Amino acid sequence: IKKQQQDVLGFLEANKIEFEEKDIAANEENRKWMRENVPEDSRPASGNPLPPRLFNDSRYLGDYEAFFEARENNAVYAFLGLTAPPGSKVGEPPIVNPS
């Protein structure tokens, strides 16, 4: 979990994307908020959702796997619901070569 959190935070910091980190280990209110705001269909079959979970305000975006997939597909800005900065490779639509 810690490695995944560091991966997300490192990416956001490196790309100068503003974010607010909420510690659910030390703050019961943050833990309760996360549990309440992760949609039913995105929760594990048993137990509680584990971090990291990404939100844009209170809109649930996904877990680490969804973030990682978006990053691999150069679609992180779209995943985060943000406009990619000019000249940014991350967020541009993929190039499709017609056959």
pLDDT digits (tens, 9 = 90+) for 41-62: 999 989 889 999 999 999 999 9
Query: Is 29 inside a domain boundary?
Result: yes
Query: Is 86 inside a domain boundary?
Result: no
Query: Is 12 inside a domain boundary?
Result: yes
- pLDDT at 81 (0 to 100): 94
Query: Is 35 inside a domain boundary?
Result: yes
Mean pLDDT for 80-94 is: 72
Residues 6+ apart with CB under 8 A from 8: 52, 54, 64, 67
pLDDT band at 73; cut points 50, 70, 90:
very high
- pLDDT at 88 (0 to 100): 72
CATH of the domain at 39: 3.40.30.10
Mean pLDDT for 71-81 is: 94
Tell me which of 87 and 51 has the higher pLDDT. Answer: 51
Query: Is 85 inside a domain boundary?
Result: no
Query: Is 60 inside a domain boundary?
Result: yes
Expressed as residue numbers, the domain containing 7 is: 1-80
Closest to 37 measured CA to CA, from 19, 27, 46, 49:
49
Any idea which residue has 């490192």 for tokens?
10
As a whole number of angstroms, the distance between CA 8 and CA 23 comes to 14
Query: Is 51 inside a domain boundary?
Result: yes
Mean pLDDT for 18-31 is: 93
Domain count, the chain: 1
Query: Is 89 inside a domain boundary?
Result: no
